[in-house]
A and B are shown apart, each in its own frame.
Chain A
Amino acid sequence: MSGQVHYRRFDTADRVLHGCLMVSFLGLALTGIPLVFSHERWAAALFALGNFKVASTLHRVFASLLILTFAAHLYRILDRVFVRKDYGVLWGPRSMVPQPRDLKEMVQHVRWFFGLGPRPLFDHFTYWEKFDYWAVFWGMGIIGGSGLMLWLPRLFARVLPGWAFNVATLVHGEEALLAVVFIFTVHFFNGHLRPEKLPMDTVIFTGSVSEEELQDERPGEWERLRAEGALEALRTEPPPRRLLLLGRTVGTIAVGIGLVMVVLTISALIR
């Protein structure tokens, strides 16, 4: 497979930003989720590694990294739309914006689960990838906003009433729980732990997919690119072994931490 022709899917900035997202998300989960489950022994054990001051400082450091990552992403989007006039970001096959075809593909995909029809001819972004993206986008707004309120209560209390901090506390914890469990189960499954993807999809680390994978996973995109004659421009060397190895290592560590967290979280929720 590594000897095959590859096509670029993510540019360097995409991959670096996803890396920042991974690091900050895992860091925030490790330093935040124990608070939600403070009655669990593992939570106290995790905090006992450093102490509460260290954990809260780290939480703010990771939060700052995530805010910067989010800002960089927004900058890139705005740059593409307003400076480079690339309106494909806003609509069309290369856009993250949900479109009618996503609904059609979702229905078709579920029918395929039951063997009631062919697999949809997915293009650049599938409906579940868009859901992942917007879930994180919404989550960053909600968790980030409430988190800033709790970080700087004195400042926000100049304008906001006291009960707003009660709502912020609730929302910050619940939304974090949603994000953590979602990323560590659904996103991991869709991206990495699906049987045909196991052990993982390295595209976010290497930036490119093999020709076979592109034809398999996104036949709609393959056909479109061929019709547009755009394949040649995206053609690239297979990822070097070292990069592949790095991607697998980083990915395995992240998935490992995530799975441990999600097992602890779900076991605490069930009890």
Chain B
Amino acid sequence: MRPVLLAGALLLAGRSLLGAGPANDDCLTCHGDAGAVREKEKTPVFVDEKVFAGSVHGAAGMACTDCHADLAAAEFPHAEKLARVDCSPCHDQQAGDYAKSFHAASHARNPASRAARCVDCHGSHGILPSKDPNAPTSHFKLPGTCLRCHGDPAIYKKAHRLKGNDPAHFADSIHGKALLKAGLTVAPNCATCHGYHEIRTPRDAGSTVNRVRVPATCGACHAGILSLFEQGVHGQALKKGNPNAPVCIDCHSAHEVIATETARWRLDVIKECGTCHESLIHSYRDTYHGQVTELGFTRVATCADCHSAHDIFGKADPRSTVAPARRLATCQKCHPGTSPNFAKYDPHADPRDKARNPLLFYTGKFMALLLVSVFGFFGLHTVLWIPRSFQARRAKTRRNGNGGGK
């Protein structure tokens, strides 16, 4: 190999004496050798001519030195370490967007950062336009490209800390299945929500995935849901600037969005409602609805079955599915033919709440008193009896042992 490199170097040295930069063929004299390696690190320096010719840049007839601009006037053999290729002279808009991204900020903050640069997503000599299905940045291949880092905790440390929201689980999500299994062009990939070059962290108010902007981002596709959400209490709270107002990802998660017909979703989302509506989930768990769902079955009502999912209103609001005038109809969705009396059942009754239902409160107190007194009395009765009972057993054994029974 070394003779090859030397010969190439001599040739290139001759060329540069003539004043012009090396032509692609000159470069390939060395770099076209599939076995060519760097002198010290022994890492390959091979550039496949066919791959380059098939790339968007090769097809445009670009020269190696158009990107490796520092080699246009370099002495040969050239230095082992070349200047980083700068894409911005041609792709200034994309480079400008990238400069605003978290990837760029990571490099600015930490020189050892492994955050993605242009080549990490697009590739180098074989760059294909994103429209090309084989491009790593194509619609269907992008998640795999992002996950090379974001699915690997060795590179992206947060990857496994995002509990319940691991980007690596995207493939199992309804979005991932639509994209990767069903192959839908309308299915979102990472960039649909996070953007392309200007990817910002969710903490950044300018990010498309910042809490406040999440509904608009999801609503870009789910427009019908967005309008319901915006009318409902959660959307209204968000609009008023309540930082605790839930947005799409709080219930649906960001990366593990699953179909809402599945049992897992129907059961998990109850707990999600309960993280904010703590007293209501407790009273729900006291009812048959809450107990059966907690045991893992979905035949009974969950939160959304009564309160609806996105257009949730306070019970005093006539638009609410649990408003007095609409409550019976809501019950009848599952309990057809029930009477107005039936709908006066309190699905969130709390025996500890005297004001809400005094009769239930006193019944609960009576039952507690009954339990305590019965077990108090018979507990003590039993404990006191035990020593005497042992005596009786000993006496019986003695009697049977001595006289062989009475």
Contact = CB atoms under 8 A, between A and B. Distances in A.
Interface of A: 1, 3-4, 34-36, 38-39, 43-44, 47-48, 51-53, 110, 112-114, 128, 131, 135, 150, 153-154, 157-163, 165-167, 169-171, 174-175, 177-178, 181-182, 185-186, 189-190, 194-198, 211-212, 215-216
Contacts of B343: 162
Highest count of chain B CB atoms <10 Å: which of A166, A194, A215: A166
A167 B341 contact: no
A191 B297 CA distance: 38
A46 to B, nearest CB: 9
A170 B363 contact: yes
The 7 closest A-B pairs by CB, nearest first: A162-B344, A162-B345, A157-B342, A52-B297, A38-B294, A174-B367, A38-B291
12 contacts: A39-B285, A44-B296, A48-B296, A52-B297, A158-B339, A162-B341, A163-B359, A163-B360, A182-B374, A186-B378, A196-B392, A196-B393
Contact of B346 (A3, A47, A162): A162
Contacts of A159: 341
Contacts of B8: none
Interface residues of B, number: 51
B349 A163 contact: yes
Contacts, number: 143
A36 to B, nearest CB: 8
B342 A162 contact: yes
B288 A212 contact: no
Contacts of B400: 1
Contacts of B287: 169
B386 interface: yes
A158 B267 CA distance: 32
B328 to A, nearest CB: 10
B345 A163 contact: yes
Interface string B346-384: 100101000001011001100110110011001001101
Contact of B295 (A34, A169, A185): A34
Given A181-B375, A196-B393, A52 B342 contact: no
The binding surface of chain A is classed by DSSP as helix
B341 A160 contact: yes
Interface in B284-300: 285-288, 290-292, 294-297, 299
Given A51-B297, A53-B299, A167 B378 contact: no
Contacts of B385: 113, 189, 194
A47 B363 contact: no
Given A153-B342, A170-B351, A163 B295 contact: no
A194 B295 CA distance: 36
B260 to A, nearest CB: 20
A35 B349 CA distance: 17
Contacts of B378: 128, 131, 182, 185-186
A34 B396 CA distance: 41
Given A163-B349, A171-B367, A189-B385, 5 more contacts: A38-B292, A47-B296, A167-B363, A182-B374, A196-B390
Contacts of B40: none
Contacts of A35: 288, 291-292, 295
B304 to A, nearest CB: 19
B370 A38 contact: no
B344 A194 contact: no
Given A44-B296, A48-B296, A195 B335 contact: no
B374 A178 contact: yes
B392 A195 contact: yes
A169 B284 CA distance: 12
B47 to A, nearest CB: 60
Given A169-B286, A212-B405, A189 B367 contact: no
Contacts of B371: 174, 177-178
A170 B367 CA distance: 9
B363 A52 contact: no
Contact of B406 (A167, A194, A212): A212
Nearest to A187: B378
Contacts of B406: 211-212, 215
Contacts of A114: 384
Nearest to A166: B349
B388 interface: yes
A133 B45 CA distance: 92
Given A38-B294, A113-B384, A166 B374 contact: no
